[in-house]
Amino acid sequence: VQLGEEHPTIVGVMREGFAFPVAHEMWVPLKTAGLDHAPRSGPEISIFGTLADGQTLEAAQAELSTHGRRLAAEQKTTHERIEPQVERYADMMAMGGNGEDLQFVLLIYAFIGMLITLLCGNVGLLLFARAASRESDLIVRTALGASRSRIVAQLFAEALVLGGLAAIVGLVVADLFLRNWAMTFLEANYGNLPFWWDLSLSPATVAAAILMTVLAATVAGAMPALKITRGMSDRLKQTTAGAGGLRFGGVWTVVIVAQVAITVVFPAVVWFENKQLGRMQDYNPGFATEQFLAVDLERDTPAADTSLVDVQTERDHRIAATLEQLRDRVAAQPGVNGVTFTNALSGGQLPERSIELGYDAAEAAARNPDEPAPIRHTTVVETDTSYIGVVDAPILAGRGFNAADAEPGARVAIVDQAFVRNVLQGRNPVGQQVRFRRPGNPAGPSEWYTVVGLVGNLDSGVPYRKGPFAGFYLPTTPDRLGSGLHMMIRVRGGDPVTLGPQVRQIAAAVDPSLRLVQIQRLNEVNDGMLWVIRLWMTVTVVMSSVALLLSLAGLYAVMSFTVARRTREIGVRVALGGSRQRILLAIFRRPLLQMGLGVLAGVSFIAFITFMYPSTDGPGAGEAEGLTAAALAMQAGYAALMFGVCMLACIVPTRRALSIEPTVALRTE
């Protein structure tokens, strides 16, 4: 078979399903013998091992640490500050994600946590109200000789049956989701998954569901029963005297407030996700992306050659010649208007860097030398010198790139209007000095770059954020783009995808080791991310709808329970001439206060998030603009709307309270 530039012979076949170390399908021997590796050179190598029988990771770490100290003493130049570390293989593969992946996972956990809190609160309120409404029945049964343990066991069994049915439904739905959509969702976000991942329901998952069901039945069934059956004789006297019996305590008040708050937050989450989706769908990169064909390029390079400087230099020249030949032959095809290369496609995730601005003589004299230089942020795109011309971006000031700008010693850049507005505060960019650096590391800045031109806002935005980020464009040659090599082909008329087969044939003829990983329209680069967001938003909408319905059901149950427990009190007050307005105010003061606190807590949380993550993600400004008057008015209106929705749950109990006749109320129980 052909593998890069070589033609190895297959000597063995692994069993189906084996894809060590991650999701691989072919293996070749690592050829290190005969290569003269200089210190800190050679191919990057990962080392895997299996523990001996009866040994632990700690023992392996101790053994390797001893070996590392010996090497450090023998080879101080290269090993003095190196210490071997041992970690579990699965942990290394699973925790290799970047910070954004971790933030995304934490966001999902937070959302699911709020949903579970809401659902548990609703179920707890409903079952508590259901158990409390049977207080008279339980008192009579106790008077007839039923033991407390028997009553508690009955309510626990009822909750266990309900929880068991719900657990079965939940496991079935989870299994269907995992089998049909989970793998697609994960691979769309993270690529090929490790071969040992098993997304089917495991016995441990089923056991955990059973344990949680028993725990839920205990909390929702046994605990209310224990509270209801405590002091039955005193409860009977209170009920006979019209005291109303069992009522919601402080814990349930907190549950109700949290439930209403989360109900307020959930629609805001849906609104935010829909806004993000709209931003991505309406994203304007600044040029006609529908006219471009985007090609992701990769080239097989034997790892054994990377350590030899002369061989690597020869290969670099060959890669440069290969890409130029590919460009010329593709550009010669009918209907092609231009071909260029870049390290980031429009609409994709553009790399961001921290930068420092230079100072002219006046600024340098006025600046405090002890004050650290301000750090800005910008998206950095490395492009072929023909990029600006191929995408037909007008030069607003200065000049465009030329062939000399791509030489290794050149230090020039082009910026966009967002860079001028957000980083330079409107100053003329031509001639400005900029260098890259890492915040908190003032000792490690790069060399200065000189801005030579200004273009419009050209694909420098981040699609899921509002407003363009500052764009910073660096010239380079295609062979120096490395792994992030993308070819953009501008097609005149027709569908750019129809050119795909010809591009594949040309690439195979130019260099068989040149792989075209993906060919797509440039305006479809975000389709995978859009699919993930639509799926997540659908799940959010469904969950939020269920949560909202359950919240209304729980609030209605609470209101009904509150009114039902005070039926005799209402009748007595009406019989004594109390006004209905004062009676309703006395009855609903606490529920209204609970809902008001819940709405206030939910809106406060939304306001906090809005303040921490303002609507305008300024390109590196790093300063939250706070809440605008329009945002405050919108949130106030939203709070009023949600308060009204919550109050709908009180309509039926309110009407029931108004229709109570004194004689009926006095005959109750």
Per residue in 16-69, pLDDT tens? Answer: 888 888 888 899 888 766 556 776 666 677 888 899 999 999 999 999 999 999
For 127-165, letters b (16+ CB in 10 Å) and e give: bbbbbbeebeebbebbeeebeeeebbeebbebbbebbbe
pLDDT at 645: 64
Q: What is the CA radius of gyration of the chain?
A: 34
460, 350 in Cβ contact below 8 A? yes
Q: What's the length of the chain?
A: 669
* 21 preceded by a cis bond (ω within 30 of 0): yes
Q: Which of 631, 275, 612 is nearest to 467 (CA)?
A: 275
User: Do strands 449-455 and 412-416 pair parallel, antiparallel, or not at all (unpaired)?
Assistant: parallel
Provide the residue type at 236 as one letter. L
Mean of all residue pLDDT scores within the chain: 76
Whole-number pLDDT of residue 269: 72
Q: Give residue-wise pLDDT tens across range 238-247.
A: 555 444 445 5
pLDDT digit string, tens, across residues 448-476: 899 999 998 776 555 555 555 678 899 98
Closest CA to 319 of 208, 544, 479: 479
Residue scoring higher pLDDT (51 or 606)? 51
Q: Which of 109, 111, 128, 126 is nearest to 262 (CA)?
A: 111
Confidence of residue 167 (pLDDT cuts 50, 70, 90): very high
Please tell me the distance from the alpha carbon of residue 479 to that of residue 323, in angstroms, as a whole number. 7
Write down the pLDDT at residue 381: 87
Lowest-pLDDT range of 87-96, 322-331, 523-532: 87-96
- What number is the average pLDDT over the span 65-82? 86
Residue 103 confidence (pLDDT)? 64
pLDDT of residue 305: 46
Once rounded to an integer, what is the mean pLDDT over residues 217-231? 75
Task: Check whether 505 has a pLDDT greater than 60.
Answer: yes
Q: What is the pLDDT of residue 243?
A: 45
Whether the pLDDT of residue 641 is over 80: the answer is no
Task: Note whether 342 and 473 are within 8 A (CB).
Answer: no
CA distances from 506 to 55, 325, 343 (A): 55, 10, 21
pLDDT digits (tens, 9 = 90+) for 380-399: 888 999 998 898 888 999 99
- Confidence band (pLDDT; 50, 70, 90) for 104? low
Model confidence at 376: pLDDT above 60: yes
Q: Give pLDDT, residue 244.
A: 47
What pLDDT score was predicted for residue 88? 85
Greater pLDDT, 119 or 407: 407
CA distance 406 to 415: 16
Q: Is 476 helix (H, G, I), strand (E, B) or coil?
A: strand
Task: Tell me if 16 sits within 8 A of 23, measured CB to CB.
Answer: no
In the structure encoding, which two tokens stand for residue 251, read together?
């814990």
Q: For residues 526 and 521, what is the distance between their CA atoms, to the nearest angstrom?
A: 10
- 243/418: higher pLDDT: 418
- Give the lowest-confidence range in 154-163, 452-461, 558-567: 558-567
Print burial letters for 300-339: b (CB count within 10 Å at least 16), e (below 16): eebebebbbeeeeeebeeebeebbeebbebbbeeeebebb
Q: Tell whether the model's pLDDT for residue 574 goes beyond 90.
A: no
**CB neighbour list of residue 451: distance below 8 Å, 6 or more residues apart:** 398, 412, 413, 414, 415, 429, 430, 431, 432, 433, 434
CB 567 within 8 A of CB 223: no
Q: How confident is the model at residue 171 (pLDDT cuts 50, 70, 90)?
A: very high
Q: Residue 311 has what pLDDT?
A: 47
User: Percentage of the chain with pLDDT > 90?
Assistant: 13
Predicted local confidence at residue 306, as pLDDT: 44
**Mean pLDDT of the 436-446 span:** 58
pLDDT of residue 62: 93
For 287-323, what is each residue's pLDDT tens digit? 888 889 999 888 765 544 444 444 455 556 678 888 8
Poorest-confidence range of 204-208, 224-228, 650-654?
650-654
By CB neighbour count within 10 A (0-12 exposed, 13-18 middle, 19+ buried), where does 43 fall? middle
Helix orientation angle between 580-612 and 250-281, rounded to the nearest 10 degrees: 50
Q: Which amino acid, 464?
A: Y
Binned at pLDDT 50, 70 and 90, residue 583 comes out as confident
**Section 136-143 average pLDDT:** 75
Residue 336 has pLDDT above 80, yes or no: yes
**For residue 413, what pLDDT band results from cuts at 50, 70 and 90?**
very high
Give the per-residue pLDDT at 329: 93
Is the pLDDT assigned to residue 10 strictly greater than 90?
Answer: yes
**Looking at the predicted structure, is the pLDDT value of residue 482 above 60?**
yes
- Kindly tell me if the per-residue pLDDT of 625 is higher than 50: no
pLDDT at 611 over 90: no
- Per the DSSP assignment, residues forming a β-bridge with 293 are 489, 521
- pLDDT over 90 at 221, yes or no: no
In the predicted structure, residue 662 carries a pLDDT above the cut 90: no
Query: Which run of H or of E encompasses 278?
Result: helix 250-281
pLDDT at residue 409 in the model: 81
Higher per-residue pLDDT: 280 or 164:
164
Higher pLDDT: 13 or 561? It is 13
* Residues 285-299: b if buried by 16+ CB within 10 A, e if exposed: bbbebebbbbbbbeb
Q: Cβ of 576: how many Cβ atoms within 10 Å?
A: 8
Q: Is the pLDDT of residue 328 over 50?
A: yes
Mean pLDDT of 168-187: 84
DSSP letter for 220, please. I
Least confident window among 199-203, 262-266, 625-629: 625-629
Q: Do residues 57 and 86 touch, judged by C-beta distance below 8 A?
A: yes
